[in-house]
């Protein structure tokens, strides 16, 4: 499989596309308007502890408190508390935990770790906010480098599962084990395989320096505050994804090209020739057909080559994918037709899941198949396609109704939320009230109001399209409403209102009275 990273710089935005055999597989947007926060380390303050949901809410200085589940609290909480200077209770509790058996009673499980409201705590952001949910955080802090990931207050040395050579594993372990200071754990990344010892040690020293800076900042800071800012989206993609399986990185910005080239020359000189600067007259994303594929990722319906199609619908709780055969009927045997459509759709569905970065619960309704052997084949195909996915996922076998249930790790916002805003007209539903329904609702509001002691002079703000509808005709609809209800109604145009919204201001009461007479 040929993988290419394309980096396009437009104004203040940087767009990163990762293609696999020419098809867009992942897309990232680096923009000042939507700053990347995953990986950032904060000194926060415990806002609330709710044992009932086994979680705490941490004040990081954002509008919404971050969510800390008890399962994301590591065994080194006492070390972090001592580092902050609050080790009175936590250290004793943690020491007891190390000497005794793991939590095994329902009450201990429900109560969770000894966190208290107002307590200072060091956390790292693991997931971006989604919908009305805030950041998700963990106390299991780690700092990623090019070759290593540093884990403070741990003792283990881990290796990437993608390093297969036993001799190379031993070499890398030996390098790290003999040089890592006491009190640190390290994970050796895939890209470290075959690298010179000096490059790996330089990376280790750089990470330890970063941690020392964090420790110094803790002692001089008041929560909530940021202790460590991870790399931008562009830099993190190059750091984390530029490996042997990437055939080249193409950048259309001279400045970015020089920065990336300099970084790769310093950290992975053997990849230096893979970095290219694009200076063609046509836009980079047009040349590689990326713009069209980004546009398709926003669509509800995605067509398959064989004439079938898939429908992707997102709800707050889950994403539902429906597979349809369309006009595909190459074989007389319906079972074979269903299998062929399902196998092709499986590849496209997994690509769309990765591209759109769909997380949480995903339910796929494949075309019914009656042969158990074909259902197993479809299941294996779905699992095979997910092998290229960096996010963790769990896939259940195909049910007898053709349903496949998946849970996928959610880290950042869905691509639709990243590159588009919610429609101000329909509020994201895809539907707006008909104009006739709007008039009926507005007239019911007026009948409740009826003037009298409320005053007969009102100003009504509506969308410009609705205003044209109300004022059109020889005897306009607004004129009829005025005469029938003996009201003086002044229309005010407000393009910020949706088609089914109106706001009413009473001149007598000198206030907005919309909610007072609505239902």
Q: Look at 453 and 418; give whichever has higher pLDDT.
A: 453
Name residue, tokens 């409201």: 117
* DSSP calls for 190-247: GGGTT--HHHHHHHHHHHHHHHHHHHHHHHT--SSEEEE-PPPHHHHHHHHH-STTEE
Contact call for residues 19 and 288 (beta carbons, < 8 A): yes
**CA 75, 229, 393 angle in degrees (round to 5)?**
60
Contact call for residues 172 and 203 (beta carbons, < 8 A): no
Lowest mean pLDDT among 117-131, 194-208, 280-294, 411-425: 411-425
Distance between CA atoms of residues 161 and 167, nearest Å: 14
The pLDDT, as a whole number, for residue 451 is 65
pLDDT digits (tens, 9 = 90+) for 120-167: 999 999 988 876 778 999 999 999 999 999 999 888 899 988 888 999
Distance between CA atoms of residues 75 and 141, nearest Å: 11
Q: Is the pTM of this model over 0.75?
A: no
The pLDDT, as a whole number, for residue 388 is 85
Q: Look at 328 and 188; give whichever has higher pLDDT.
A: 188
Mean model confidence pLDDT for the chain: 85
| pLDDT score of 309 more than 50 | yes
| pLDDT score of 89 more than 50 | no
| pLDDT score of 85 more than 90 | no
| pLDDT score of 470 more than 50 | yes
Contact call for residues 416 and 298 (beta carbons, < 8 A): yes
pLDDT digits (tens, 9 = 90+) for 283-305: 999 999 998 888 888 788 998 88
The pLDDT, as a whole number, for residue 412 is 67
pLDDT digits (tens, 9 = 90+) for 6-17: 999 887 788 899
The pLDDT, as a whole number, for residue 411 is 67
Distance between CA atoms of residues 322 and 340, nearest Å: 15
Distance between CA atoms of residues 348 and 308, nearest Å: 11
Contact call for residues 436 and 443 (beta carbons, < 8 A): no
Cβ-based neighbour number of residue 158 at 10 Å = 15
- Which H or E run contains 73? none
């Amino acid at each position: 499989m040929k993988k290419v990273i394309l980096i396009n710089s437009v104004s203040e935005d940087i767009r990163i596309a990762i293609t696999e055999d020419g098809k867009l597989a992942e897309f990232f947007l680096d923009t000042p308007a939507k700053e990347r926060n995953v990986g950032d380390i904060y000194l926060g303050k415990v806002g609330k502890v709710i044992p009932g949901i086994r979680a705490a809410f941490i004040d990081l200085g954002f509008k919404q408190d971050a969510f800390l589940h008890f399962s994301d609290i590591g065994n080194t909480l006492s070390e972090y508390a001592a580092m902050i200077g609050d080790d009175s209770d936590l250290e004793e509790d943690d020491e007891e935990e190390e000497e005794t058996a793991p939590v095994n009673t329902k009450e201990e499980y429900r109560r969770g770790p000894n966190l208290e409201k107002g307590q200072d705590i060091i956390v790292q952001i693991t997931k971006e906010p989604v919908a009305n949910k805030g950041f998700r955080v963990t106390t299991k802090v780690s700092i990623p480098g090019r070759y290593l990931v540093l884990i403070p207050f741990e003792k283990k040395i881990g290796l990437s599962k993608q390093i297969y050579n036993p001799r190379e594993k031993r070499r890398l372990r030996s390098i790290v084990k003999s040089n890592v200071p006491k009190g640190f754990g390290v994970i050796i990344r895939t890209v470290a395989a075959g690298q010179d010892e000096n490059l790996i040690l330089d990376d280790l020293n750089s990470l330890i320096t970063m941690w020392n800076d964090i420790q110094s900042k803790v002692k001089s800071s008041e929560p909530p505050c940021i202790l460590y800012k991870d790399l931008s989206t562009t830099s993190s993609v190059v750091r984390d994804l530029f490996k042997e399986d990437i055939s080249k990185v193409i950048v259309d910005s001279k400045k970015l090209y020089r920065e990336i080239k300099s970084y790769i020359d310093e950290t992975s000189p053997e990849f230096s020739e893979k970095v290219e600067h694009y200076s063609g007259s046509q836009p980079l994303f047009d040349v590689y057909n990326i713009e069209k594929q980004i546009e398709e990722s926003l669509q509800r319906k995605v067509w398959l080559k064989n004439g079938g199609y898939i429908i992707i619908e997102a709800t707050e709780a889950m994403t539902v994918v429906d597979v349809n055969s369309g006009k595909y009927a190459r074989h007389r045997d319906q079972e074979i037709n269903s299998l062929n459509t399902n196998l092709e759709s499986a590849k496209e569905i997994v690509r769309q899941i990765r591209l759109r970065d769909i997380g949480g619960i995903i339910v796929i309704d494949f075309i019914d198949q009656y042969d158990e052997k074909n259902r197993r084949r479809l299941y294996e195909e779905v699992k095979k396609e997910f092998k290229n996915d960096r996010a963790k996922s769990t896939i259940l076998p195909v049910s007898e109704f053709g349903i496949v249930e998946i849970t996928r790790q959610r880290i950042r916002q869905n691509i639709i939320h990243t590159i588009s805003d919610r429609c101000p007209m329909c509020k994201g539903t895809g539907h707006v009230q008909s104009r006739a329904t709007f008039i009926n609702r507005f007239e019911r509001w007026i009948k409740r109001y009826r003037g009298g002691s409320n005053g007969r002079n009102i100003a009504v703000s509506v969308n410009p399209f609705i205003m044209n509808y109300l004022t059109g005709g020889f005897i306009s609809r607004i004129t009829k409403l005025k005469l029938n209800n003996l009201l003086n109604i002044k229309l005010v145009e407000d393009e910020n209102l949706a088609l089914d919204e109106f706001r009413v201001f009473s001149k007598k009461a000198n206030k907005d009275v919309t909610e007072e007479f609505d239902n």
